[in-house]
Amino acid sequence: MKIKYSLLLLLQILVPQIIHSQVDIINNVYNRNPFSLNGEWHYIIDPYENGYFNYRYQPFDTFDNPGKGAFFTDAKPDNKSDLVEYNFDKSDIINIPGDWNSQDEKLLYYEGTIWYKKSFDYKKQRKTNKIFIYFDAVNYQADVYFNGKKIGIHIGGFTPFNFEITDLIKDKDNFLIVKVDNKRKKEAVPTLNTDWWNYGGITRDVRIIETPQNFIQDYFVQLDKENSKIVKGFVKLKGNEISNNEVEIRIPDLGVNKKFKTDKKGVVEFNFETTNVNYWSPENPKLYNVELKTSEDQVNDLIGFRSIKTEGTSILLNDKKIFLKGISIHEENPIKGGRAYSKEDAELLLGWAKELGCNFVRLAHYPHNENMIRIADKLGILVWEEIPVYWTIDWENKETYQNALNQLSEVISRDKNRAATIIWSVSNETPNSDARFTFLSNLAQTARQLDQTRLISSALEVSNFDNDPNLKTIHDPFAAVVDVLSFNAYVGWYDGLPDKCKKVNWKIDIDKPVIISEFGGGAKYGFHADSLTRWSEEYQEYLYKENIKMFERLPQLTGMTPWILSDFRSPRRVLPGIQNGWNRKGLFDNKGNRKKASHVLQNYYNSKN
């Protein structure tokens, strides 16, 4: 039984509004000619949250008259005797987008609250238009105030959100204040313990979006999973007069010009046959200009059309077997430092992946910025996206689940039209339990309901078969739920030395494709020794050679994403002289230098052509 696309719309409504539901997210802000609020913002460090709570620890924004102690009011002294104990306009300046850790040395390890302020003027293009503030991402909780009024909260550090400010915006002297709190919490997603840097702040673009009264809020334009000659999806309008509106869908290069009428909820569900589609692939990343138009609004997008499915132990792209030559990537610019966010960052990281011969990347361990997906679309790089359900999540906490569900829903909403994205992953290295199985199975079910056109996976863990340390398997009930089996295996690094790979074999009696989602080991660039000296480039090189030969003995092998493209910041990694706060498993170091193991992987991938 096929699930109708209207179910996607229903599920959007079910996500709790307290964490900001994707039902309100404007799709394809990327191509809407927004007004940028990027640039210099003033900021105040507030570890005790004195700007949010009074001395009785009561939130100022719950009072009708919060007083001048509330930072979001941007209060100024009325006279020389008036007491106001902060001043945004005289406070330090920080660049947005950007994390606070890499911009101010005193904030290197800071976790807590920082307040941001941006002042600006804005002239509406048309008097009747709606105005929204759109954040690409804020880590981790954002309390947003506009012209002294609280307009919303968003929880989750890697997905977009927006709030309407139509009735609040002025031509002159607007001020946007955002309270950002990146403290780690047990019940959060991710939880307390991670192996990456907890970059805090407004880490991605901030924009003003202006739309007509009745506008195209969302759409899904992809090939039918069952028939690659059919384009199928929906268009959803938002506004006061959205029923019985004509929606025109044009794909000029395919000669498509279709018109449909919205239902009472402003939704069009459509499908139509196409001929002569030039299917998107790594060798041929063809993107079509897709135009969506109503009497009031028009949105253009570049969309590739391709099919992805599994057949036994194979992954089929456009009905042809493909081997996924991948690499894992963290959202970090290793050369300039800090959280990556720009087109230039994406081009750098994906360019290195292409240099290695990759046709596939795993974007770990959270949704990366939209530039990464858009550039991957253009370069012909297939993408695995995931949410930060990482290690030990609070599986039995209902709010934790809703948080994970919301992050999954928001990234699917943002990237569901991108040809590059072929896998949604719902977790990484999570320990088996009944509660965990229920948690992950529900996420997988929702992902399939939101998007029928892609595969579901998870980075699982391996275990010994019948207690034999040299015979590996997957003992995980969640393996029955996913479309693609993926697991992390560190033979030669955490499990013995590299020569153990010669003894290890695999027994996986599940008829599904296998991707090795992680393997590898650390090396300090420029440190040379013999192949058994830890941290040397020669050790990492030897490890890669032996791991690749070991995995080649796995019959279901359909791809791999070794850990990792480049060295990245991690407070877990403290070994002086070697790590110094960096995870050294990268094939490139934090200055862009290639380590010897990178050539092993490159040669292997070139041999797979």
Are the C-beta atoms of 19 and 141 separated by less than 8 Å?
no
* 45 and 179 in a common domain: yes
* 223 and 107 in a common domain: no
Name the band, by pLDDT with cuts 50, 70 and 90, for residue 609. Answer: confident
Average pLDDT over residues 53-69: 92
* 137 and 242 in a common domain: no
236: Cβ–Cβ under 8 A, 6 or more apart, which residues?
Answer: 9, 216, 217, 218, 219, 266, 267, 268
* 206 and 112 in a common domain: yes
Answer yes or no: is 188 within a domain: yes
User: How high is the pLDDT of residue 17?
Assistant: 36
- What is the token pair recorded at 202? 């407004």
Assess whether pLDDT exceeds 90 at residue 5. Answer: no
* 299 and 197 in a common domain: no
* 222 and 189 in a common domain: no
Are the C-beta atoms of 327 and 518 separated by less than 8 Å?
no
Name the band, by pLDDT with cuts 50, 70 and 90, for residue 338. Answer: very high
* 163 and 276 in a common domain: no
Direct distance between the N- and C-terminal alpha carbons of the chain, in angstroms, rounded to an integer: 38
Are the C-beta atoms of 587 and 565 separated by less than 8 Å?
yes
User: How high is the pLDDT of residue 9?
Assistant: 43
Distance in angstroms (rounded) separating the CA atoms of residues 256 and 252: 6
Instruction: Report how many domains make up the chain.
Output: 2
Q: Which residue has the tokens 């011969």?
A: 357
Write the CATH number for 50. Answer: 2.60.120.260
Distance in angstroms (rounded) separating the CA atoms of residues 504 and 497: 12
* 174 and 48 in a common domain: yes
Would you say how long the chain is, in residues?
A: 609
Answer yes or no: is 409 within a domain: no
User: How high is the pLDDT of residue 24?
Assistant: 81
CB atoms within 10 A of CB 313: 18
Q: Helix, strand, or coil here: 156?
A: coil
Name the band, by pLDDT with cuts 50, 70 and 90, for residue 275. Answer: confident
For the beta sheet containing 93-96, the strands, ordered from the edge strand earlier in sequence to the opposite edge, are: 93-96, 39-45, 113-120, 174-181, 141-146, 149-155
Each residue's pLDDT tens digit, 556-598: 999 999 999 999 999 999 999 999 999 999 999 999 999 999 9
Average pLDDT over residues 351-355: 98
Domain end residue (candidates: 274, 309, 344): 309
* 197 and 105 in a common domain: yes
Are the C-beta atoms of 250 and 259 separated by less than 8 Å?
no
pLDDT mean across residues, the chain? 94
CA dihedral 569, 575, 577, 579 (to 10 degrees): -20
User: How high is the pLDDT of residue 7?
Assistant: 41
pLDDT top residue among 609 and 395:
395
Are the C-beta atoms of 540 and 588 separated by less than 8 Å?
no
Are the C-beta atoms of 74 and 68 separated by less than 8 Å?
no
**DSSP letter, residue 172:** S
Three-state secondary structure of 250-269: EEHHHCEEEEEECCCCCEEE
Answer yes or no: is 394 within a domain: no
| Nearest in space to 383 (alpha carbons), one of 405, 364, 404, 410 | 364
Answer yes or no: is 480 within a domain: no
User: How high is the pLDDT of residue 506?
Assistant: 92
User: How high is the pLDDT of residue 297?
Assistant: 96
Answer yes or no: is 72 within a domain: yes
| Nearest in space to 540 (alpha carbons), one of 581, 482, 599 | 599
* 220 and 167 in a common domain: no
* 204 and 227 in a common domain: no
Distance in angstroms (rounded) separating the CA atoms of residues 288 and 280: 10
10: Cβ–Cβ under 8 A, 6 or more apart, which residues?
Answer: none
| Domain region containing 169 | 32-211
Are the C-beta atoms of 228 and 255 separated by less than 8 Å?
no
Amino acid (one-letter) located at 469: P
Assess whether pLDDT exceeds 60 at residue 131. Answer: yes
Average pLDDT over residues 280-302: 97
Number of H helices, E strands in the chain: 7, 33
Answer yes or no: is 370 within a domain: no
Answer yes or no: is 284 within a domain: yes
Chain mean position to CA 219? 19
* Residue 454 φ/ψ, nearest 5 degrees: -125, 170
Each residue's pLDDT tens digit, 293-332: 999 999 999 999 999 999 999 999 999 999 999 999 999 9
pTM of the predicted model over 0.85 = yes
For the beta sheet containing 161-164, the strands, ordered from the edge strand earlier in sequence to the opposite edge, are: 35-36, 206-211, 130-135, 161-164
Distance in angstroms (rounded) separating the CA atoms of residues 99 and 108: 10
Assess whether pLDDT exceeds 90 at residue 4. Answer: no
Share of the chain above pLDDT 90, in %: 93
User: How high is the pLDDT of residue 92?
Assistant: 97
- What is the token pair recorded at 43? 């900021």
Domain end residue (candidates: 187, 211, 235): 211
Each residue's pLDDT tens digit, 395-450: 999 999 999 999 999 999 999 999 999 999 999 999 999 999 999 999 999 999 99
* 186 and 60 in a common domain: yes
Distance in angstroms (rounded) separating the CA atoms of residues 286 and 304: 6
Domain end residue (candidates: 253, 286, 309): 309
Write the CATH number for 300. Answer: 2.60.40.10
Chain mean position to CA 547? 29
In sequence order, what are the beta bridge partners of 383?
Answer: 361, 421
Answer yes or no: is 594 within a domain: no
Share of the chain above pLDDT 70, in %: 96
Each residue's pLDDT tens digit, 6-51: 444 444 434 333 333 334 899 999 999 899 999 999 999 999 999 9
